[in-house]
Amino acid sequence: MVKNNLVKDNLEGANIGVFFGTLAPMHIGHQAEIYKAAALNDGVVVITSGYTGDRGDQIGLPVEKRFRYLREAFNDEDNIKVDYINEDDIPQMPNGWQEWTARLTATIQRNIVNPDAKITLYTGEAEYKDMLEKLLPQDGRFAVSLMDRTILKVSATAVRKQPLANWDYINRVFRRHFAKKILVIGAPKTGKSTLTRRLARTSNSPFSLEFSKTYQEQSNVSDQELLIKDYLRIIQGQYDANSAEINSPANNGLTFFDTDAMVTMAEARAWLSADENDSLKAIFENTIHEEQLDLILVIPPTVAAVNGADLAASQTFDRHLWQIIEESGFLDKAVSLDAVGGADDPTGYYARYLQALHIIEDRIGVNLTKV
């Protein structure tokens, strides 16, 4: 049975491969070399290395997060073990080679059983190969192999600069970090679920459903009857639904969400007392912060009135939404879908759909009108 990395045994065998790098992010070129090392050795130690402010940290992938992503990526590989080196307390390269090499060898040793195993390190940098061959123990146990970068012409630098253009090269676990998250919100009866679904299908992207609808139907409970415990389940349920689409194999770089914690927060402000809202404040704020949205499309309340909803109630809900968007620091991400249709589009649905496509192109850089 495959063990998870938290309890994975140290690697056994007389020959151990070591693959190291910034890995910000890991791409299929890295994977190919890691699997090569796994095929040629009894086991492989994968080591991500970095410091505060490094190129990974600059895009929100500090070394600790990279370590966790890598550990998840190789969770089902018995002979691949993951570790990391934090370089914050040693001189930065090129001045820290001596200290870094000592830390590298210590990291390798704590992940293997046989202290006399032959160690082959794999790197794509000729300079690294030269330095390591000078600094590693000269006892015959260590060798350095230079990987052939011409086989897979992809680099982490290119991925960081243009993640969507290089989407197919990014390891699936790391894709969640680069996925563009588009939220569609509005008062009830604004058609947000339909718009979310159709925008997602236009780009062949995954999309989430409104969890509260399913929850309330299954529980047979109305808006007015929802208690704090119900809101807790709805907040978590919607977050899980949105996260599932981010982590889905169908994620092609764009993910669409039908509502989120901000919508649920607006609903709570409409139906719960001030004290009850205060008790939910922390979980709302934490969940909203974790969402890290890229674009918020807000359908105006007048649409709900056209569809038979009470205009005053819809306007109040809309006001709560915009207040929450501002409080959450997402005002620069939010755009009102206020396009008006012509005689052949009296409800304005098609006009808002086209407007949304153009906003996505402008804000996200993906042209869906030519798909």
Does CATH place domain 179-363 in 3.90.550.10?
no
Domain residue ranges of the chain, discontinuous segments joined by +? 15-160, 179-363
Mean pLDDT of 310-321: 92
pLDDT of residue 369: 79
Cβ(212)–Cβ(264) below 8 Å: yes
pLDDT of residue 147: 81
Under 8 Å CB-to-CB from 80, ≥6 apart: which residues? 34, 38, 43, 44, 46, 74
CATH code, 15-160: 3.40.50.620
* 300-314 pLDDT, tens digit each: 998 887 878 888 999
pLDDT of residue 154: 81
119 phi and psi angles, rounded to 5 deg: -110, 125
Q: Rounded to an integer, what distance in angstroms lies between the CA atom of residue 302 and that of residue 315?
A: 8
Asked if pLDDT for residue 366 goes beyond 50, the answer is yes
Cβ(15)–Cβ(117) below 8 Å: yes
Q: Worst-scoring range by mean pLDDT, 47-56, 118-127, 152-161?
A: 152-161
Cβ(324)–Cβ(265) below 8 Å: yes
* 161-208 pLDDT, tens digit each: 999 999 999 999 999 999 999 999 999 889 999 999 999 999 999 999
Q: Worst-scoring range by mean pLDDT, 77-91, 215-229, 296-310?
A: 296-310
For CA atoms 262, 264, 266, 269, the dihedral sign is: negative
pLDDT of residue 57: 96
Dihedral over alpha carbons 23, 24, 30, 34 (to 10 degrees): 30
Does this chain's domain 15-160 share its CATH topology with 179-363?
yes
* 93-105 pLDDT, tens digit each: 889 999 999 999 9
Mean pLDDT of 336-351: 93
**Cβ atoms within 10 Å, residue 161:** 11
Cβ(286)–Cβ(235) below 8 Å: no
Q: Rounded to an integer, what distance in angstroms lies between the CA atom of residue 191 and that of residue 63?
A: 42
**Cβ atoms within 10 Å, residue 332:** 10
Query: Which candidate, 112, 81, 84, places its Cα nearest to that of 15?
Result: 112
Query: Which candidate, 138, 156, 119, 139, places its Cα nearest to that of 40?
Result: 119
Cβ(271)–Cβ(222) below 8 Å: no
Q: How confident is the model at residue 2 (pLDDT cuts 50, 70, 90)?
A: very low
Q: Rounded to an integer, what distance in angstroms lies between the CA atom of residue 218 and that of residue 226?
A: 13
Query: Which candidate, 285, 175, 294, places its Cα nearest to that of 239?
Result: 285
Residues of the chain with pLDDT > 90, as a percent, come to 85
* Pairwise pLDDT comparison (304 vs 151), residue with the higher score: 304
Under 8 Å CB-to-CB from 42, ≥6 apart: which residues? 11, 12, 13, 14, 15, 16, 79, 117
Asked if pLDDT for residue 234 goes beyond 70, the answer is yes
